[in-house]
Structures are given as structure tokens and as C-alpha cells.
Amino acid sequence: MPVKDLGFRRAAPALAVFAAVRLLGLTVLAVWGAVAGSSPHTLLSARWDSLWYARIAAEGYGYEIVLPDGDVHSNLAFFPLLPWLERGVSAVTGLSYGSAGLVVSVLAGLAAAWGIFAVADLLHGRRTAVFAVALWAALPVGIVQSMAYSEALFTALAAWALYGALRGRWLTAGLLAAGAGLTRPVGAAVVAAVWVAAVLAWRSGERSRQAGLPLQTGPVQDAASPAWSGGRALVGALLAPAGAAAYVLWVGAHTGGGLLGYLDVQAGWGNGFDGGWAFARFVGAKLASSAWPAGLGLTTGVVLVLWLYGACVRQRQPAPLLVYCGIVVALALCASGYFGSKPRLLLPAFPLMLVPAVALARWRTRRAVLVLGAAALASAVYGAFWLNGSGPP
């Protein structure tokens, strides 16, 4: 596979499509807000988790809420990179921390779209890559990409770390994985992907050495077999978990809980990993009640996600992508709390979009554009409805 130029000109169509879908979502949200009397700016920057991030940016860590049932919601549950960036943008621009978070998300969203384009272009070519970005932007909860949340930032770091790993750019991959680990707990998925890529590259290098073939150290020609570069690959692999490890260890020291300190913080929020048992009971209760349509919708969504992941495997996506996506999906679906958050937690699982993107790329352009346009409009309407209703927990 020839090495692709990832300059702005090549990625521009994908970035333009992403911006158009996001602008459509914001326009519909503004119109909905004018009718409903709600503030789009408040919905995007000063509700739910956005408030926690802004408070961390303003005051640092140490704030917590004790609920009537004794549970403790501590801001230590939120990883620090987004608040750090909010503080930096606020210092430069004078914006409030919430507004600074919106600036970060706008830039991170574009970076994420570019990174998704880069990975898809490397694997399937430019046309498929544009469709992959469009599909990611038009997801039902795509409005979160425009909120002062960490999903867009995390996806940007993850996508470019994966691209670096697939290209054998180990230091870049390791540093970006470390950044992802400072952004969300699911940064572990990026670390695992970089490690898998490094192991596969090392094994490929060993086979070449045993066969007496020259060891590939230049640009990667096959995304499934990144080049091994000795020391750089090892340093990249060691750097990858540094961000998450540093924060988790700091939380443990800060709380006195040791290595399990962060898990204790999450437990205070009702979060844990039970293999999906609590979520299954939640869906079952919906199906057995008058809210059965919601239960049916949840069941359909889960089946669709699992089918898409199976299709990723059948599509023979590179192992690092499968590992990353599999961990993101598993952590999203098998967490024991905040069931309404699951669609949002799946946003970083962008490799799932490569399956429909490949299919759309085979269609005539007019037909594909009509389908994507309908999806973008539906996403915009749902996003406005969602934020003016229950919204992201």
C-alpha cells in the first residue's frame, strides 16, 4: 500500500463534511432552544459533566458531593487533560472555563475527524475515509462532539495514536496514548492497541531476521504489519501507559487507597465492571414494563454494535484497531452504572464506522450523500431533543 500524503488538502473534504454535520447539529439546537426557551450555550458548556470539568479547571481537585444514600461523588473521577486545556485556553482568551471547553472540543473534533480520516485512508482509501468521518459525525449522539466533554479530545488522541502505531511511528504513538490515558479511563484501550502493534512489529522483524531478509524500518507499506525500530518501539510502548498510570497512582496517593484508590472513587459514583449483568437487568426491566419500546431500542442498539464489531473482525481490520475497539465496546457495554451514558461512551469506537463506510463507498455518490444527509439531519434533531431532555448523565 503506498504511503499517503496526509496534508490538509487531502483531508479537506472529510474535514468539511465533519464541520457541515456539526454546524447542522448546532443550528437545529439553536432553533430548538429558541422555541423551547433553552440556552444552547448552557446545554453545551454548563451542564452535567461539563460543570465538573470546569470546576476542576477553576479550583483543582478535592471537590465532592455526599448523596443522601452515603455515596460520594468526587471530582477525582474525571481525568485531568481536558481541565488543563480549559485552563490554558481560558488564560489566553479570557473565556470562561466552560466556553474554553467548547473551544477545545471544536479543535479536538476537527483533529479527531482528521485522525479517523488518516486511519481509514491508510486502510481503505480516500473515498471510504470521507464516509467514515461523515458517519462518525452523524452518529445519534454526535452532538457530544460539540460539548465541553472529553469524548472529542479522547477520540482525537486515540485515532492519531492508532495511526502512529499502524505506521510504525512509535514515539508519536506512545506520547499520544499517554495523552489519551490522561483524558479518560478508557485510555487503557489505546495503550493495549499500541502494545499489540509493537508486539506484532517485533514478531514480524524476528521472522524477517530469521529468513535473512532486510529489516523494514522505513515508512510502512502494510498497515497490518508496522515496522519494528528497536529502541523507538520500546520507548513508545513504555510511554503509552504513562499518563493513565501517573493519574491513577496520584489518586491512590491522594486518597490513601493505593492502587485501588481510583476504583474506590468510581465506586462512589456507582461505576464498576460486572460483565454487563446490571445493564442486562436494566434492559430486561424495560422490556417487561410499559417502557418496552425503550428496552427494544436498547436491545437493537446492543445487537447492532456487536454485529458491527463482528463485521470489523470479518473485514480483517488490523489487530491494533480490533483490540482498541473491542476494549472500548466492552467497557461501555459492561459497566455497571449510568446506563444512559452508554451511547456516549461508544463514540470513541470509530473503527465500527469503517464497516458501513466501505459499503457506502461502493454506492453511487448521489445515493450515498442522500443517506448521509438524512442521517445527519436525524442526528441533529435527536441531539437537540436529547439535550433539552434527559441529556448525557
pLDDT in tens, 326-340: 999 999 999 887 778
Q: How confident is the model at residue 231 (pLDDT cuts 50, 70, 90)?
A: confident
Q: How confident is the model at residue 140 (pLDDT cuts 50, 70, 90)?
A: very high
Residue 220, pLDDT above cutoff 60:
no
pLDDT in tens, 50-98: 999 999 999 999 999 999 988 899 999 999 999 999 999 999 999 999 9
Q: Which percentage of the chain shows pLDDT scores above 70?
A: 92
Residue 218, pLDDT above cutoff 50:
no
Q: Which position has the higher pLDDT, 242 or 280?
A: 242
pLDDT of residue 272: 86
pTM: 0.94
Among 160, 162, 152, which Cα is nearest to 184's?
Answer: 152
Residues 353-376 have a mean pLDDT of 97
HEC sequence for the chain: CCCCCCCHHHHHHHHHHHHHHHHHHHHHHHHHHHHHCCCHHHHHHCCCHHHHHHHHHHHCCCCEEECCCCCEEEHHHCCCHHHHHHHHHHHHHCCCHHHHHHHHHHHHHHHHHHHHHHHHHHHHCHHHHHHHHHHHHCCCCHHHHHCCCCHHHHHHHHHHHHHHHHHCCHHHHHHHHHHHHCCCCCHHHHHHHHHHHHHHHHHHHHHHHHCCCCCCCCCCCCCCCCCCCCHHHHHHHHHCCHHHHHHHHHHHHHHCCHHHHHHHHHHHCCCCECCCHHHHHHHHHHHCCCCHHHHHHHHHHHHHHHHHHHHHHHCCCCHHHHHHHHHHHHHHHHECCCHHHHHHHCCCCHHHHHHHHHHHHCCCHHHHHHHHHHHHHHHHHHHHHHHCCCCCC
Residue 120, pLDDT above cutoff 50:
yes
Residues 37-44 have a mean pLDDT of 97
Q: How confident is the model at residue 149 (pLDDT cuts 50, 70, 90)?
A: very high
Residue 219, pLDDT above cutoff 50:
no
Contact status, residue 286 vs residue 294, Cβ threshold 8 Å: yes
Among 54, 47, 67, which Cα is nearest to 386's?
Answer: 47
Phi-psi region of 70 (alpha: psi -120 to 50; beta: other; left: phi over 0): left
pLDDT of residue 226: 65
C-alpha cell at 273: 465492571
The separation between CA 295 and the C-alpha centre of its own chain, rounded to angstroms, equals 25
Rounded to 5°, the CA angle 238-242-245 comes to: 125
